[in-house]
């Protein structure tokens, strides 16, 4: 009997640029492609329907692609260590391959699987693939530290050079041992599950409303379509893009890159080939720069302890945010698009219905929830984003919430986004609001950002009474924003005093 290998699909839900998969198939006669739905990682109640639906659709697309080359996907449910252990024993697996991960929970799991394969004397191929570079290599290149500014990260990137070129997808795969696999005491779905199969999440499939089409083929198609617009690629600069555009003004590749349907290295080299011989914008504002932001967020998330919380996190300012029930009441209104500020509510409605918003739209609502207006802890906002985003990404999401709350990386707390003025620059007529807060659609443009200022007669004519059909603003922005700046100053002053009495945070370089 030949060797059976098991490839455990994690983030990298793709066939192209999948080094661990290639390693596994090199020496086996039969391959089990396995995805494990880990309900501890995707906790019911904490994962929204669009995020989960997009994941399942990505698995469905992967299954289709695998079937086209003589294989198929098996989807099991449970703790990966237990599931893989049982598969190894029952199916006499000779090799296990998987993509290593940078998130704390997944790092622990990596260690467990590596130990398990050692114990059971099975060959293992745990390899990096979700980032452009091996994060351990980047840390070593930077004396063990993660750069905490883009300037120092760019220096590191110039030392590192280009990331490795992506590898081609396999043309065929060794067949699985049987079409319908069983494994004692492991729950294996019949095919790829649908939202209705995941009963513990209590989803109503009607609420799956994101417009993103999942899968590797689609991710590559979207990338190629964007790259074909050479001028757009060569002049791309962020933040100079439109958060209120009704069609994404940026690539909208994040759901594919996050799910690993599109390799970040494939996108990097696609950009490089496209821009060969052309004058183009430069990092950090260019598209290559966006990939560098991603890489930097991953490296920091990989190396900074407690990066997903304020407590015990050496780079996070200690700020006395609102937490507990007081915060929860404010958070609920924010999450449900009921703040009374149409621009903020439009973004939050887009988040819940589409699972994606423009980067600057994320800026607006994250600032509003934290240091701008509501003074709610960034950790709760992060959770809401993580629940609904189809591109929910542990590293980038945590990184960005640090930034927007001025907890790390960005410290100009005296610069706040105005929930009234910000979107007027790109959308004076409020078309974005009219789309995402349809109750306000009939309001004259003049009142669209401040509907509470419309005379009663206009409110009646628009069939929307402010305070009844749509909420009044939950805070007086001008007032709370000033008050919060004073609170931020106090927190910064306190942390300065505290830091001056302590040795510098070890091993974390700032410049």
Q: How far is the CB of 339 from ligand FAD (least distance, A)?
A: 16
Q: For 206-239, b where at least 16 C-beta lie within 10 A, e where not — what string?
A: eebebebebbbebbbebbeebbeeeeebbebebe
Q: How far is the CB of 226 from ligand FAD (least distance, A)?
A: 8
Q: For residues 74 and 394, which CB has a smaller minimum distance to ligand FAD in the complex?
A: 394
Q: How far is the CB of 362 from ligand FAD (least distance, A)?
A: 4
Q: For 109-142, b where at least 16 C-beta lie within 10 A, e where not — what string?
A: bbebbeebbeeeebbbbbbbbbbbbebeebbeeb
Q: How far is the CB of 389 from ligand FAD (least distance, A)?
A: 5
Contact positions toward ligand FAD, by CB under 6 A?
238, 248, 250-254, 257-258, 290-291, 293-294, 297, 358-359, 362-363, 366, 385, 389, 391-393, 396-397, 400-401, 404
Q: Round to whole Å and give the CA distance between 40 and 497.
A: 40
Is 454 strand, coil or helix? coil
Q: For residues 232 and 472, which CB has a smaller minimum distance to ligand FAD in the complex?
A: 232
Q: For residues 396 and 433, which CB has a smaller minimum distance to ligand FAD in the complex?
A: 396
Other beta carbons within 10 angstroms of residue 293's beta carbon come to: 19
Provide the token pair at 71. 């294989």
Is 83 strand, coil or helix? helix
Q: Round to whole Å and give the CA distance between 45 and 39.
A: 11
Distance of CA 118 to the CA centre of its chain: 32
Q: For residues 139 and 291, which CB has a smaller minimum distance to ligand FAD in the complex?
A: 291
Q: For residues 223 and 462, which CB has a smaller minimum distance to ligand FAD in the complex?
A: 223
Q: How far is the CB of 130 from ligand FAD (least distance, A)?
A: 11
Q: Are 369 and 337 in contact (CB under 8 A)?
A: no
Q: For residues 192 and 316, which CB has a smaller minimum distance to ligand FAD in the complex?
A: 316
Q: Are 213 and 400 in contact (CB under 8 A)?
A: no
Q: Where are the alpha helices (DSSP H) in 181-286?
A: 216-227, 230-235, 254-259, 264-275
Q: How far is the CB of 128 from ligand FAD (least distance, A)?
A: 17
Is 31 strand, coil or helix? strand
Q: For residues 96 and 253, which CB has a smaller minimum distance to ligand FAD in the complex?
A: 253
Q: How far is the CB of 405 from ligand FAD (least distance, A)?
A: 9
């Amino acid at each position: 009997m030949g060797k059976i290998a098991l490839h455990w699909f994690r983030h990298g839900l793709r066939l192209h640029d999948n080094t661990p998969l290639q390693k596994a198939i090199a020496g086996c006669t039969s391959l089990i492609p396995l995805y494990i739905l880990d309900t501890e990682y995707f906790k019911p109640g904490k994962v929204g329907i669009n995020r989960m639906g997009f994941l399942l659709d990505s698995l469905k697309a992967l299954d289709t692609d695998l079937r086209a080359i003589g294989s198929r996907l098996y989807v099991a449910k449970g703790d990966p260590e237990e599931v893989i252990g049982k598969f190894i024993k029952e199916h006499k697996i000779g090799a296990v391959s998987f993509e290593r991960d940078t998130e704390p929970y997944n790092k622990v799991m990596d260690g467990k699987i590596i130990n398990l394969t050692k114990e059971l004397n099975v060959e293992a191929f745990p390899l990096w693939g979700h980032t452009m570079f091996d994060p351990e290599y980047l840390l070593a290149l930077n004396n063990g530290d993660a750069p905490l500014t883009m300037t120092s990260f760019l220096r590191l990137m110039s030392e590192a050079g280009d990331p490795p070129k992506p590898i081609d997808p396999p043309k065929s795969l060794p067949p699985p041992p049987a079409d319908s696999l069983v494994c004692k005491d492991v729950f294996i779905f019949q095919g790829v599950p649908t939202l209705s199969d995941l009963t513990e999440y209590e989803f109503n499939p009607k609420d799956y409303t994101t417009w993103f089409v999942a899968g590797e083929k689609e991710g590559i198609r979207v990338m190629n379509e964007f790259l074909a617009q050479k001028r757009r690629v060569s002049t791309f600069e962020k933040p100079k893009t439109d958060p209120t555009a009704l069609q994404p003004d940026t690539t909208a590749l994040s759901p594919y890159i996050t799910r690993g349907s599109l390799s970040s290295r494939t996108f990097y080299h696609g950009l490089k080939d496209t821009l060969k011989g052309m004058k183009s914008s430069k990092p950090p504002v260019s598209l290559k720069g966006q990939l560098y932001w991603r890489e930097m967020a991953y490296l920091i998330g990989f190396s900074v302890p407690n990066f997903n919380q304020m407590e015990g996190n050496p780079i996070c300012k200690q700020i006395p945010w609102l937490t507990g029930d007081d915060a929860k009441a404010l958070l609920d209104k924010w999450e449900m698009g009921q703040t009374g500020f149409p621009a903020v509510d439009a973004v939050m409605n887009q988040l819940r219905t589409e699972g994606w918003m423009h980067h600057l739209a994320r800026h607006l609502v994250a600032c509003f929830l934290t240091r701008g207006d509501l003074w709610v802890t960034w950790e709760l906002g992060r959770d809401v984003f993580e629940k609904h985003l189809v591109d929910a990404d542990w590293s980038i999401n945590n990184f960005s919430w640090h930034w927007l709350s001025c907890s790390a990386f960005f410290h100009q707390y005296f610069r706040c986004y105005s929930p009234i003025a910000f979107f007027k620059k790109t959308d004076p007529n409020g078309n974005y609001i009219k789309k995402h807060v349809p109750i306000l659609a009939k309001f004259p443009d003049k009142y669209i950002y401040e509907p509470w200022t419309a005379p009663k007669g206009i409110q009646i004519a628009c069939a929307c009474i402010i305070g009844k059909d749509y909420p009044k603003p939950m805070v007086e922005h001008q007032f709370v924003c000033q008050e919060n700046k004073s609170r931020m100053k106090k927190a910064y002053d306190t942390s300065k005093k505290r830091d001056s009495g302590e040795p510098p945070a070890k091993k974390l370089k700032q410049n």
